[in-house]
Amino acid sequence: MNKQIDVIDTTLRDGEQAPGIAFTASEKLAIAKALDKAGVPWIEAGTPAMGAEEQQALRRILGAGLKARIFSWNRASSKDIAASVACGFTTVHISIPVSDLHLRYKLGKDRTWALKELADTAQTAIDLGCEVSIGAEDASRATPEQFLELAQLAADLGALRIRYADTVGCLDPFDVHDIFTHIMPRTPLPVEFHGHNDFGMALANSLAACSAGASSVSVTVGGIGERAGNAALEEFVAAAHSVCQIETGISLAACEGLGELTARASNRPIFPYKPILGSRNKLQDAHQKNSRLDALAIQPVLDRMMI
Amino acid sequence: MNGKAQIWADQTLNTGVLQGLPRDTLSETARLLSKAGADLFDLQLTAWHRYPDKVSEFAFAGQVRCIIDASAQQVESAWQAGFGSLLLTYTFQHWRSMEQDLADVLSAGRDKGLSLSLHVVNASEAEAPAIKAFFPILQRYSVKTLIIGDRDSRLDPLQTFELLDNLRVDAPCLLGFHAHNSYGLATANAYAAMRAGAAEVAVAAAGIGCCGHAALEEVLLAGRCIGGQELAISGTLAADLATVLAYLGYDTPANKAVIGQAIFSHESGIHVNGIGKDHRLYEAFAPELVGLSRRVVIGKHSGTTSLKAKFDEWGLPLEARVAKQLLAKIRRLAVAKKNIVEDMQLKRLYYRMIRRSHMRISPAKGGLRA
C-alpha cells in the first residue's frame, strides 16, 4: 500500500498573507468548504489575533460543520491564545522562531526565553482545553539540534506534531532529504514540512521531506503566499500520487475548482504555464482528474501545438 | 560545485519562433535571454520555415541548434536553412531498434559535418542499463550530447540525480537533461541534473513552453544561492525576463519566484517588523541581485509597525490612536478593492482623518470614504 500523507492547507492563513490578497469572510468560508469537500483533512484558517473582523470570519468557518479539523495560527503569546479560544478554536498552532538569526534579530531574546514563552503559551492553551501543534519558524536556518530541542519540549507538552518551516525557501531537495533522514529517528513527534518557493523548489522539498519520513506537509491553493509563495496543494496532490506513489486522499478534480475560486478571491489570474491549474498545462480530461485513478490516468496533455 | 559547468539550452526563443515574432523582436528576445544566461537556443525547423531569412542573418546565429525529427530529409533542410548544429528528437520504443531508426539521420548529419545532439524525449521511462546499451552507437556517429528527456514529468529530483549520475560514469559523450513541468518539479529536476554533472540543461523563462520547462531564473538562482556555483547573475534579470514574457504575450505573475514584481513586497505585520530589523529574516536573497526592490506595502494584514514605517519614511507624525483607526479603515478598504492600499490612497485617508479630528466632525456626518 502506498504511503499516506496528511495535507495541511494554509491558504486562508499563510496564503492570504501574500501582499495584496484580502479575502472577505464569505470567500474564506467558501474556500474552507471547498477544501473540506476536496478531502483536505486539516485547515489552518487564520489568525484570530488580527482583530474582530477576522474573528467573525473564523467563527463562520468553525460553525460550518466541516469534516476537516480547523485550527488557528498563533504567536507564542497568551493574548493570541485567548483570541483563538474566544473564537471557539479547540486546536491551535503556536509558532516560535528557532534559528539564532530570528531569535537575535527579530525577537531580541535568547533561546531559553523563547522556549519558556512557548511552553507557557502551550500550557495555557492546553489548560483551556485545546490541542496544540508547534511551529519551528526558520528551522532551515537553525541546527538540527536546535530543532530537536524544541521538538522534545513540544512532545513533553503533549503536542500533536511539530512544523519544520523552511521560512525563506533556502533548502534544496537534497538538503531536505538529508536533514529529515537525520532528524526523523530522533524526533519524538510527527513532523510537518512547511516549504516556501523562493527558488521554485517548495514542492520538490515537500516531497523530499515525505520520502524521508515527514508525515504531513503544509500547502496553499495555487501556491499563493508571501514572496514567491508556498508549495501548491494541487501540485502536491498530483505529484505525490503520480511521481512518488504517495496518497493524500484528496480529489485532484476538486483542486481545479478550488484553484479558480481562490484565484478569483485573490484577484490574481492563473499563469497559463502553472502546472495543473494553468490553461496551457491542464490535465487531459475530467475523467482523468480524479487522483484515485491509476497513475497513468493523470498523464499531462501532450499537446504538441503550443500556440 | 564550482564554476559554471553546464550550458543553458534555452527553449523560450522557440516559443517566439512558433508565434512568428517579427525579426527585430526575435533578435531582441535572444539578446535579453543571452544576457540572462542562455548559451544556446533550440529552434524547431518546421517553425523556422516561416522566416524567409537564413539563420546566419540573425545576430544569434552562432548560438542556435536546430530541432529536427530523426529524418535524413530534415537534416538536408536544416543544412540548407543555414543551421550548423542539430538536435535530433527521438521517442524510443525499444533501445535495440534505435540504431536502425537513427542510422540514416546520424550518418547524413555526420557526412555534412554538422554538430549532432540527440534528445531522447522519453528517456526517463528507461532504466540506466538500457540507455547505456546505446552508448556505442553515440560514439560511432560522434554524437556530441545525449539529452535525457523527461517528457511525461515522471522523475523527482532524487531519481533524476541517480539516473544522471549513473549514466555519466560511462557516457561516451556529454550528457544533457530536458525537464518538463506537468507537476511542478522541473526546476528541482534540472537543478538535480546539474548537481549530477549534466553538461547541459534545458530551461525557459518562467518555465514556459509545451508541457512546461525548468524556469531559467529559478535554476540560475538556486545554483548560485543554494548550490554555491559561481554563476553570473544579471542585475537586470527580473526586468529582462519580464520583457521577454511580454513579447510573447504573457504577464509575469507578481509572485513568480525570482522575477515577480511583488516577491520583495512585505505586508503582514510580522514580516514588516522583521524586515525592518534585518532583511535577511524574510528574504532568501537580496532584491538587488536580480534588479528588484524591497517595498513595504499596506493591506489587510498590515500592523501598526508597517504604518509607522511608512509614515516615518514620509516624515509624517502618526499617533497611536490615529494609527489604530487608520488600520481599521485600511483593512476594510483592502478587502473591498482586493488589493494593497496605495501610498496616495493611504495619505488621503490619513489627511481626512486628521482634518476630521481637528474639526471635530463626527464620523456619521463626515462620511469618510477613500
Chain-chain contact of B185 with A204 (C-beta, under 8 angstroms): yes
Q: What is the mean pLDDT of chain A?
A: 92
Q: Where are the domains of chain B?
A: 7-247, 265-366
Minimal Cβ distance to A273: which of B212, B280, B338: B212
| Distances in whole angstroms, Cα of residue A144 to Cα of each of A34, A109, A175, A278, B2 | 37, 20, 12, 37, 27
Does B175 have pLDDT greater than 80? yes
B340 to chain A: nearest residue by CA? A20
Residue with cell 514605517: B309
pLDDT over 90 percentage in chain B: 80
Say if CB A159 and CB A193 are below 8 A apart.
Answer: no
Does B57 have pLDDT greater than 70? yes
Residue with cell 517548495: A202
Instruction: Please give, rounded to a whole number of angstroms, the shortest distance from the CA of B121 to a CA of chain A.
Output: 12
- From B62, B76, B107, B106, select the one nearest B88 (Cα to Cα): B106
Residue with cell 519580464: B242
Chain A CB contacts of B155 below 8 Å: 243
Minimal Cβ distance to B184: which of A53, A275, A301: A275
CA-CA distance, B366 to A5, in Å (whole number)? 55
Name all contacts of B327-334 with Cβ < 8 Å and 24+ positions apart.
B327/B302, B327/B303, B328/A51, B329/B353, B329/B368, B329/B370, B330/B298, B330/B299, B330/B300, B330/B302, B331/A22, B331/A51, B331/A53, B331/B300, B331/B302, B332/A53, B333/B370, B334/A22, B334/B298, B334/B299, B334/B300
**pLDDT computed for residue A290 by the predictor:** 40
Chain-chain contact of B209 with A266 (C-beta, under 8 angstroms): no
Dihedral (CA of A238, A242, A247, A251) sign: positive
**pLDDT computed for residue B369 by the predictor:** 44
Mapping DSSP to helix (H, G, I), strand (E, B) and coil, where does residue A74 land? strand
B227 to chain A: nearest residue by CA? A172
What architecture is domain B7-247?
A: Alpha-Beta Barrel (3.20)
| Distances in whole angstroms, Cα of residue A159 to Cα of each of A155, A163, B77 | 5, 11, 68
Chain A CB contacts of B270 below 8 Å: 75
Dihedral (CA of B19, B23, B25, B29) sign: positive
User: Please, which pLDDT band fits residue A303 given cuts at 50, 70 and 90?
Assistant: very low
- From B182, B183, B222, select the one nearest B201 (Cα to Cα): B222
Mapping DSSP to helix (H, G, I), strand (E, B) and coil, where does residue B203 land? strand
**pLDDT computed for residue A224 by the predictor:** 98
Task: Tell me which of A14-18, A19-23, B274-278 is least confident.
Answer: B274-278
A-to-B residue pairs, Cβ atoms closer than 8 angstroms: 231
CATH fold label, A3-252: TIM Barrel (3.20.20)
Q: What is the pLDDT of residues A125-159, one digit of tens each?
A: 999 999 999 999 999 999 999 999 999 999 999 99
Does B2 have pLDDT greater than 70? no
Chain B CB contacts of A245 below 8 Å: none
Q: What is the pLDDT of residues B72-98, one digit of tens each?
A: 999 999 999 999 999 999 998 887 788
Chain-chain contact of A170 with B284 (C-beta, under 8 angstroms): yes
Chain-chain contact of A228 with B263 (C-beta, under 8 angstroms): yes
Mapping DSSP to helix (H, G, I), strand (E, B) and coil, where does residue B101 land? helix
Mapping DSSP to helix (H, G, I), strand (E, B) and coil, where does residue B272 land? helix
CA-CA distance, B193 to B204, in Å (whole number)? 16
HSE-CB at A248 with a 13 A cutoff on CA atoms is 33
Residue with cell 500523507: A5
Angle CA A288–A292–A294, to nearest 5: 65
User: Please, which pLDDT band fits residue B359 given cuts at 50, 70 and 90?
Assistant: low
pLDDT over 70 percentage in chain A: 91
Q: What is the pLDDT of residues A256-302, one digit of tens each?
A: 999 999 999 999 999 999 999 999 876 554 334 443 333 333 333 33
Structure pTM? 0.93
CA-CA distance, A9 to B257, in Å (whole number)? 20
What is the mean predicted confidence (pLDDT) over A104-116?
A: 95
Which H/E stretch holds residue A175?
helix A173-183
